[in-house]
Structure 1
């Protein structure tokens, strides 16, 4: 397939020049995403899905998912399991992400300065948390904390190419009783947490979701298939927002609001029981650089 590069292509290639993009295997490059996996969702639709209450609406391109399914057995063969691959190779705790083929604009300077990585094919487990580890994920955690790993999603969801999809993996809990009042615990256990930064506008109302569902047609999503809690009164909604205050504060520090707009979410705990690394939660951040 061919693509036309955007006007701001760093190598100064004319935007009228057509570039051939070969389809490789393994995690995709930015050029491959543009050429072979064009986004299914707009930024507005993405924010609507995040705010809908059903985080299962966020999808990866089906062809890219097929590519992931073909790639993962080789990783399991080399590292023993996807869990070992993540723990002993991909998650460089406390270090910048120098492994991604889809680097963040926030890491551009760091990638040039720090190319060192540690890697092991062994079945090492994460060491126990030290006594001074925080009880849960906190807004003021250093970006180079040994308890977190901030990486780009190597297999991003089907979002516009200018949207960065970042994962914040955490060795300390993200959900914690000190943060979640009993009145909203059941809801958060089902729906997870989400938030928005960098804009004064309210996020798209869940009531507008039917207008966005055509973008999910190939996944067979209908309103009847949604799994989400009903909205509560203003007091309940404030409790839910406040339960994500530590995440929201961290996101605002990392993605400064005058420069970035973000939508973030954390899958509910029952999702985390089937994720790649049991016992390690992670935060998804979709970040859009402002003009």
Structure 2
């Protein structure tokens, strides 16, 4: 069984008023030309400290802030409470014993109902996880057989780890799959997310851009999550979740 079999595809179960707002969100997104091209998304997500530039179409954003969020708070008390009810985490999933999320841990994959303004052949997913995505231990270098057998001094290693951790907290994480070529994304702080995305969306079939916002940009800080923008390589239609 592939480890991404742990990633449940979560259906949407709403009350009629919220469901109506979600249908309106889809209509608004379909009615407006996207703000970003795929190339612009690459520049932003693969750049440093630019994730704050990603936005919804202004009309969609107004509906989200002025109508959807108030409706959620009225019905559930908070956006986080609504999402917890949707995600339905089991006790054993939340109490995994790990300090941060790893690729083999449970996850919930949902369409982003209020997606950023991406091209129409791109689908915006959110992957929700029960444990933190960011942790200082992920910034420690992973030793591989190709690395030098002479490790750096403790002072240099500690400084490098600290610098990497501060950068992650400040800028978040981002990456791309499906582009081909060699990479070292199996040793950096992005390695767990990258491995999950590659397994979930085959690189032979899909181009993806993924990102995890830094804390200051997270709209729901109580629930760890990352975003995946998916484009089918054959360009024949909107990307779909694999079965």
Same fold (TM > 0.5): yes
Alignment-derived partner of residue 68 in structure 2: 71
Number of residue equivalences? 192
Deviations 1:113-160 (A, max 9, x none): xxxxxxxxxxxxx88943x4433221233xxx3xx2211111000001
Write the distance in 1 (CA, Å) between the matches of 2:46 and 2:189: 15
Structure 1 unaligned residues grouped into runs of 5+: 1-23, 95-125, 203-236
Alignment-derived partner of residue 37 in structure 2: 42
Structure 2 unaligned residues grouped into runs of 5+: 1-18, 140-160, 235-243
Alignment-derived partner of residue 200 in structure 2: 254
Q: Among residues 103, 118, 135, which one is paired with 1:139 in the alignment?
A: 103
Alignment-derived partner of residue 281 in structure 1: 224
Write the distance in 2 (CA, Å) between the matches of 1:44 and 1:72: 31
Write the distance in 2 (CA, Å) between the matches of 1:44 and 1:151: 24
How far apart are residue 200 of structure 1 and its match?
Answer: 2.2
Give the structure-2-normalised TM-score: 0.70
On the 8 A contact 2:93/2:130 being kept in 1, the answer is: no
Answering whether residue 147 of structure 2 is matched by residue 167 of structure 1, we say: no
Greater share of helix residues, 1 or 2? 2
Q: 1:63 to 1:29 in 2, by over 3 A?
A: closer
Write the distance in 2 (CA, Å) between the matches of 1:128 and 1:257: 28
Secondary structure, in 3 states, of the residue corresponding to 1:243?
A: coil
Q: 1:80 to 1:279 in 2, by over 3 A?
A: closer
Stretches of 4+ moved more than 6 A in 1?
237-241
How far apart are residue 87 of structure 1 and its match?
Answer: 0.9
Give the structure-1-normalised TM-score: 0.59
Q: 1:250 to 1:240 in 2, by over 3 A?
A: closer
Answering whether residue 194 of structure 2 is matched by residue 199 of structure 1, we say: no
Alignment-derived partner of residue 33 in structure 1: 29
Write the distance in 1 (CA, Å) between the matches of 2:163 and 2:185: 8
On the 8 A contact 2:186/2:195 being kept in 1, the answer is: no
Alignment-derived partner of residue 240 in structure 2: none
How far apart are residue 179 of structure 1 and its match?
Answer: 0.7
How far apart are residue 85 of structure 1 and its match?
Answer: 0.9
Answering whether residue 162 of structure 2 is matched by residue 182 of structure 1, we say: yes
Q: RMSD over aligned Cα, in angstroms?
A: 2.8
Deviations 1:12-67 (A, max 9, x none): xxxxxxxxxxxx951246554222x2211111111111112111011111100111
Q: 1:283 to 1:58 in 2, by over 3 A?
A: same
Q: 1:198 to 1:238 in 2, by over 3 A?
A: closer
Q: 1:41 to 1:134 in 2, by over 3 A?
A: same
Write the distance in 1 (CA, Å) between the matches of 2:215 and 2:25: 31
